[in-house]
Structure 1
Amino acid sequence: MVKLTLDLIARTSSSTRKKREENLQQYLKRLTHLSFAEKNIDEIDDLSQCRNLSVLYLYDNSIPQIPNLGFAANLTHLYLQNNQIGQIERLSPLQKLSKLYLGGNCITVLEGFEKLEQLKELHMEHQRLPRGEKLLFDPRSLASLSVCLQVLNVSGNNLDEITDLRLLQKLTQFICSDNKLRDLKTVANVIAWWPYLWRLDLSGNPLSHRAKYRDRVIVMNEKLVVLDGKEINQTEKMFLMSWKEAKEAKRKQREEAEQMRPELDGFAPPLPIAGTGRELPPVMPPKSSKSKQGGLKNIYIMPSMVGGKKRFEAVLAKSQSLPNSASKLKADRTVPVRQIVAPGVLKKSHSDLERSARAMMMHESRHTSYPDASGFGAASGKMHPMMNGNHIVPSSILL
């Protein structure tokens, strides 16, 4: 195994050559890029003299923990993938760090990012996790990263849901392949929180094998350009977006129709009378519509009557044009009793009444004489049946 020391840096560094006229301290101070990848390094010595480091390559080694890099205030890129690191720590002093590569380690919790306000890329793919466990996310770190992080790679970490990640509203690229995501609806709810997302990779998840997976994901976010490593055709995108808008419009129409549907609350709503602008009194629902709790069910009166409403309105309109018999009888209450005809007569037509009156007159004329001016017959002296004292039966009643 190899220990990274200042002497080793001076002897083997290939990124920046030491000048003949400068000493070791001047050389280390001048270093900005340091590459010791694939050197079997498992320990790191004090590198505090390398104050101007901005890029440090230490991937593919056997480093057990993140080295103390508090001296490197200018460090922007740190490559530590494929090591033996088990915990994220000692990163707070790196205020200018913008890219961090920690994939292929043994990290179980994404944490320790509370003060990295300029971190734009974080790569945490394929952690060597204990059997049956998944990568966890510290809420405090996510809250801090929400103001800066743009690229997140969490592929191959046994993730079965990503709801916690919706806080990362600055994301433009999200790589989450080879996990255990199954619910497209949950994923859609998270992606809706990312207005700047243009690259998304969900390949290798169970949901990627569902019918119309690609179409359903494309419409989740208008800004998507690349899905699962394949560019989204603009024509395809416009067609799917139009389809989504039409579907949403139908759904809203259906919801509005359901909201406008009248609900029974003790009485049915008044029905309008065609052509009058008036309303019928409310109709009581049948007794069978009452539930066991004493309330009323939402029912439809006369559901089997085809065109019933129009026919009902036509009958109502016709009935309104006829004279109101009830009001007429009320107005005729002052008529003297002698002028009221028997109820049976009212049921006859005008022609029947005329025939009855003529027959009666002819019958009387055979047995008695016509009355004189006093109202008595000339032969018998009796009052004519068509006379009634000083009152004569109105002809309108007979007719």
Structure 2
Amino acid sequence: MKTKEGELLPRGRKIQNSKTHLYYDHKNLKAIPQMNLSTACVIYLHNNAISQIENIQSSTLCALYLQCNNISEIKNLEEVKNLKKLYLGNNEICVLEGLNQLGQLEELHIEKQNLPMGTSLCFDPRSIMCISKSLKVLNISDNGIESLSGLMPLRHLTSLCASNNRLKDIEETCELLKFWFYLKNAWFQGNPISKKHRYREDIIASSYCLDFLDDKPVSPSSRNFIKCLENNKLKKSSRPSIDLTQIVASAPDNYPPPLKNAVSASLIHSQLHIFGPLDVHIKNPISIVRGKPRLKKKPPHNRLNKEDSHSFPALFAYGMGSAWK
């Protein structure tokens, strides 16, 4: 049994309520009892049979544990405006709502809701906007969620667990990561996007300071390398591409595309004497004449022509006469 986060008590030991911590967990409660909350900071009501949130009015309350109950709706939290941690996992909540007054909330755990087959957890835009400036930790795993677009206003997130959902659009997820500037820990395993080619590289390239992805560390050197690689790809994709087969007219149609490009590049290089990418407008396209292969131009030689023999002495011309006959 847990008392505080990460702290376990020996079996059989009873937990005594204090002025700041109230323990009502594992008592098979069907409703939240009346409690003196004047000095309460933490209330443990998890692992009961509670069906609705009620009887919680405290200006000092910081953490509320309500996981593993039968709650189907988030409501009656208007009087706990200073609440910082809310645990609602393993309930029956289908809409994330009722958080309009929780402007100090920093952690929200609403994972593994027992929802009907084919349904998923939805997000109320008003509640998301109210907690957008304070929320840092969000756990929405195992809820059949297909899109995270409704969470875009949460720009102060540092930890997001969205594993085991139905996220399919990797491009949408990467675009959302660009809005979450402070995100350091993310979990997306168990989604269709995690099976995409270069999934990890795309997620890291879209984030700013991600330290862990699916429990695996992201080193600064690997992050910088992936970002530089993606930037180079963007620069190359932004340059206008030139189809060499369009520049060189009448190329044989039976040539495969790679061979066409190679032949066209070779002809253009020999014609223009340039290197690197082509950015010169060619007025007269080069044509290939079928059946007449290009012949190499022979270099100049020192053999004398017959017409130039008159400028040489007669003795020299006599000796070379046999070569001109």
Same fold (TM over 0.5): yes
- The equivalent of 1:44 in structure 2 is 32
* Match in the other structure for 2:255: none
Query: Which stretches in structure 1 are left out of the alignment for 5+ residues?
Result: 1-11, 18-30, 258-299, 307-399
Matched, 1:123 2:112: no
Q: How many aligned positions are there? A: 238
Q: Which position in structure 1 is the counterpart of 2:119?
A: 133
Deviation (angstroms), 1:173: 0.9
CA contact (8 A) 1:37 1:61 kept: yes
Q: Which has the larger radius of gyration?
A: 1
Match of 1:107 in 2: 93
Match of 2:22 among 34, 47, 54: 34
Provide the C-alpha distance between the structure 2 equivalents of 1:140 and 1:238, rounded to a whole number of angstroms: 37
* Aligned partners of 1:81 and 1:104 also within 8 Å: yes
1:304 Cα deviation from its structure 2 partner: 4.2
- Matching residue within 164, 179, 182 for 1:178: 164
2:210 to 221, 224, 228: 224
Give the structure 2 partner of residue 89 of structure 1. 75
Matched residues in 1 for 2:201 and 2:89: separation? Answer: 30
Whose helix proportion is higher, 1 or 2? 1
Q: What's the counterpart of residue 15 of structure 2?
A: 14
In 2, the alpha carbon distance for the partners of 1:162 and 1:89 equals 23
When structure 1 is superposed on structure 2, of 242-251 and 119-128 the one drifting more is 242-251
Residue pair 1:118, 1:148 contacting (<8 A) in 2 also: yes
Q: Which amino acid aligns with 2:49?
A: S
* Whole-angstrom distance in 1 between the partners of 2:114 and 2:74: 14
For residues 274-314 of structure 1, the C-alpha deviation after alignment (integer angstroms, 9 at most, x for no partner) is: xxxxxxxxxxxxxxxxxxxxxxxxxx9654459xxxxxxxx
Q: C-alpha separation between the residues in 2 aligned to 1:199 and 1:212?
A: 19
Contact 2:85-2:107 within 8 A present in 1 as well: yes
- C-alpha deviations, 1:72-96, integer Å up to 9, x for none? 2100000000100000001111011
Matched residue type, 2:15 = S
CA distance in 1, matches of 2:211, 2:21: 34
Contact 1:66 1:90 survives alignment (8 Å):
yes
Aligned counterparts of 1:224 and 1:175: Cα–Cα separation in 2:
13
- Please name the residue that 1:313 is paired with: none
Instruction: Summarize deviations over 1:172-196 as a string: whole Å, max 9, x none.
Output: 1111000001111010111111111
CA shift at 1:227, angstroms?
0.3
Instruction: Tell me what 1:57 maps to.
Output: 44
Q: What is the alpha-carbon distance in structure 1 between the residues aligned to residue 208 and residue 113 of structure 2?
A: 31
Between the aligned residues of both structures, percent identity stands at 36
1:207 counterpart (193, 202, 205)? 193
Taking the aligned partners of 2:89 and 2:132, their CA distance within structure 1 comes to 20
Alignment of 1:241-320 (within 5 A): 241-254=227-240, 302-305=284-287
Looking at structure 2, the residues matched to 33 and 122 of structure 1 have their Cα atoms a distance apart, in angstroms, of 19
Q: Normalised by the size of structure 1, how large is the TM-score?
A: 0.57
Q: Write the letter of the residue equivalent to 2:27.
A: K
Secondary structure at 1:174 match in 2: strand
Quick one: which amino acid aligns to residue 48 of structure 2?
N
C-alpha RMSD of the superposition: 2.1
Q: Are the aligned partners of 2:17 and 2:23 in contact in 1 as well (CA < 8 Å)?
A: no
